[in-house]
Amino acid sequence: MNDLIERWVAGESTAAEELYRNYFGRVKAFIIRRGATITDAEDVAQEAMIAGLEGLKGGKKPDRLTGWLLGIARHVGSRRFLTGSAGLEDLEDPRRRSARSMVIRKEMGELLEKTMAAMSDNDRQMLELLHRAGLSRKEIAEKLALPLDTIQARCERAHSRLRESLARHFTTVTLAKLPRQPITLEEIQQLRPAFRQAITARHLENLPHPAAALRLALPEATYRVRLQSAYEMLKCGANADFTRAREQYRKAPQ
């Protein structure tokens, strides 16, 4: 684990991904055991992981990484929740909490739709029958005239692939919040042409979204999807520092 920390401190983003994958689940489970809902636990765990990764980058050297991260999570939770007989109670105004929950549900619904649309027909069929139609695995086996063992295997595979896809999304979102070195032109040039063009138009040529879409002869919605995919590949967000890449682009022969 010390090797992972050293790699992250040295600026290797893949090390941060590994640290996140290794510890996010433990931190989330710890918060749930303290009485939080799954949604609140994910919020606290993400904030704690970001704080922890930033701390490591800033020179913190904990003796036990797990215990240190759980301590950060406890501190983050204490700022947002009050431990009472009913568990962790949100201190926010109930109207704000309700509005936040609606936003989270909307985002999760959109993410789930996008994820399922990219899955194979078999995997998508299993998830729809299980979670939309509300059928048991035995009922699905009868409906599809397949052995129960086959349905069990398909359901496990579909759930496994869904978890992997969602985990990749949350890792990308979390890492996008972390401070990182300025984006370089070399990183952008390594992207596939469609994504490179989207980043170039927006961040190297400083075109607003409508003008960038027009430049690329794309519907604006398609352009925005490509731009978001480019951010994910660069492991950054729209507010990343593109100054260095812009300077390199202006100096490069066109």
What would the pLDDT profile of 205-232 be if each residue is shown by its tens digit?
999 999 999 999 988 888 988 898 888 8
What's the mean pLDDT in 83-102?
A: 45
83: left (phi over 0), alpha (psi -120 to 50) or beta: beta
Give the predicted TM-score (pTM) of the model.
Answer: 0.44
Q: Check residues 161 and 86 and name the one with the higher pLDDT.
A: 161
Domains of the chain in start order, with CATH, are: 2-90 (1.10.1740.10), 94-176 (1.10.10.10), 185-251 (1.10.10.10)
pLDDT at residue 115, as a whole number: 75
Question: How far is the CA of 64 from the CAs of 29, 68, 70, in angstroms?
Answer: 18, 6, 10
pLDDT at residue 229, as a whole number: 84
Does residue 179 carry a pLDDT above 80?
A: no
Q: Check residues 107 and 186 and name the one with the higher pLDDT.
A: 186
Backbone angles phi, psi at 89, to 5 degrees: -105, 130
Taking the CA atoms of the chain, what radius of gyration do you get in angstroms? 22
Question: Could you read off the pLDDT of 124-136 as tens digits, one per residue?
Answer: 899 889 877 888 8
pLDDT at residue 139, as a whole number: 92
What's the mean pLDDT in 58-84?
A: 79
Task: Give 103's Cβ-side CA count (13 Å radius).
Answer: 6
Q: Of 1-5, 9-13, 26-30, 199-203, which has the strongest mean pLDDT?
A: 199-203
Which amino acid, one-letter code, is at 142? E
- The residue behind tokens 């904030």 is 47
Does residue 150 carry a pLDDT above 50?
A: yes
pLDDT at residue 211, as a whole number: 93
Q: Sign (positive/negative) of CA torsion 55, 59, 60, 63?
A: positive
Q: Which residues contact 194 (CB under 8 A, 6 or more apart)?
A: 226
- Please count the other Cβ atoms lying within 10 Å of the Cβ belonging to residue 198: 25
pLDDT at residue 244, as a whole number: 92
Does residue 148 carry a pLDDT above 80?
A: yes
Query: pLDDT-derived band of residue 86, with 50, 70 and 90 as boundaries?
Result: very low
Does residue 71 carry a pLDDT above 50?
A: yes
What's the mean pLDDT in 58-63?
A: 84
Q: Check residues 7 and 113 and name the one with the higher pLDDT.
A: 7
pLDDT at residue 189, as a whole number: 93
Average pLDDT, the chain: 80
pLDDT at residue 1, as a whole number: 61
Question: Could you read off the pLDDT of 46-57 as tens digits, one per residue?
Answer: 888 888 888 887
Residue from 2, 6, 1, 3 nearest 57 by CA: 6
Query: pLDDT-derived band of residue 253, with 50, 70 and 90 as boundaries?
Result: confident
